[in-house]
Amino acid sequence: MSEVLAAQRLFDLTGEVALVTGASSGLGARFATVLAAHGAKVIAAARRMDRLTELAAGNPGISPLALDVNDTASLEESLAQAELMAGPLTLLVNNAGIAGSGRIADTTLEDWRAVQNTNVDAVWHLSRAFAMRLMARKSVGAIINIASVASMKVGETSASYAISKAAVLHMTKAQAVEWARFGIRVNAIAPGYIHSDMTDGYLASPAGHAMIQKIPQRRAGDPSDLDGTLLLLASKRASGFMARTAIIVDGGHALA
């Protein structure tokens, strides 16, 4: 029988080197902080260096990195810079994303492409570059893609966003199937409405209040509601036999 590990050891991320995209605010900042609190060296990446510097100032386990996930040509250089800062990467959290609004008939080509470029194409390119680095050095690692409850439950005015996040879920499956043999675990988190810079304006509106009443738990989530799921998928001890799993954290919203 395998050794039974205490929770502290099960979720101890000492030795892990994580890159978290979209880490300048909201869920990304929370993810970076939680991973660092459990022993990982974290590269917090985003475009807003002022916010990243502020985040890292209070946490020696976090280092800031300027990164535009849409700048495909710079991704290899950014990964190399991250590894110079903290050592060989072992974990990628694809959190960077933007919201889309509007019905299909009202969505411009420019808006459609902006959402797909950030939410889908960037995940494709960065994950591929990250996985190929791990395979080249024959190292194990993990990718956590941030999807959404919108992947499964389409709102009337968020079609482009919902489609992009559905693509992320299917991409997670494709990545997991292809890279599992190399020791790279790929899974996803599908949050419901979580308080953040992106959602707080809507959640405070009359439409947001009405939506919350449809959630079985009658509340929006707090970023801390994702801590356990993040740690589960980040820990090779806790999720070593998990691949292509999408964990829904939504207060039951997808069932409503």
The SS3 of residue 151 is helix
Q: Using only C-alpha atoms, what is the Rg of the chain?
A: 18
Question: Exposed (0-12), middle (13-18) or buried (19+): which is 55, by Cβ within 10 Å?
Answer: buried
Is 255 domain-assigned?
Answer: no
- pTM for the predicted model, two decimal places: 0.96
Of 238, 195, 172, 176, which Cα lies nearest the Cα of 38? 238
Is 45 domain-assigned?
Answer: yes
Is 73 domain-assigned?
Answer: yes
pLDDT in tens, 34-54: 999 999 999 999 999 999 999
Give the count of domains, the chain. Answer: 1
Q: How far is 219 from 104, CA to CA, in rounded Å?
A: 28
The CB density around residue 8, as the number of other CB atoms within 10 Å, is 9
Is 256 domain-assigned?
Answer: no
pLDDT in tens, 68-83: 999 999 999 999 999 9
What is the CATH number for 43? 3.40.50.720
What is the phi/psi pair of residue 205, to 5°? -85, 165
Residue type, 7: A
Buried b / exposed e over 26-49, threshold 16 CB at 10 Å, is bbbbbbbbbbbebebbbbbbbeee
Buried b / exposed e over 168-197, threshold 16 CB at 10 Å, is bbebbbebbeebeeeebbbbbbbbbbbbbe
- For residue 96, the enclosing domain spans 7-248
Is 71 domain-assigned?
Answer: yes
pLDDT by 10s per residue, the chain, length 256: 788 888 889 999 999 999 999 999 999 999 999 999 999 999 999 999 999 999 999 899 999 999 999 999 999 999 999 999 999 999 999 999 998 878 899 899 999 999 999 999 999 999 999 999 999 999 999 999 999 999 887 776 689 999 999 999 999 999 999 999 999 999 999 999 999 888 888 899 998 899 899 999 999 999 999 999 999 999 999 999 999 999 999 999 988 8
Is 254 domain-assigned?
Answer: no
213, 113 Cβ separation under 8 angstroms: no
Say if strands 17-21 and 62-66 run parallel, antiparallel, or are unpaired: unpaired
Supply the residues annotated as catalytic. 161
Is 236 domain-assigned?
Answer: yes
The predicted structure's pLDDT at residue 245: 96
Is 253 domain-assigned?
Answer: no
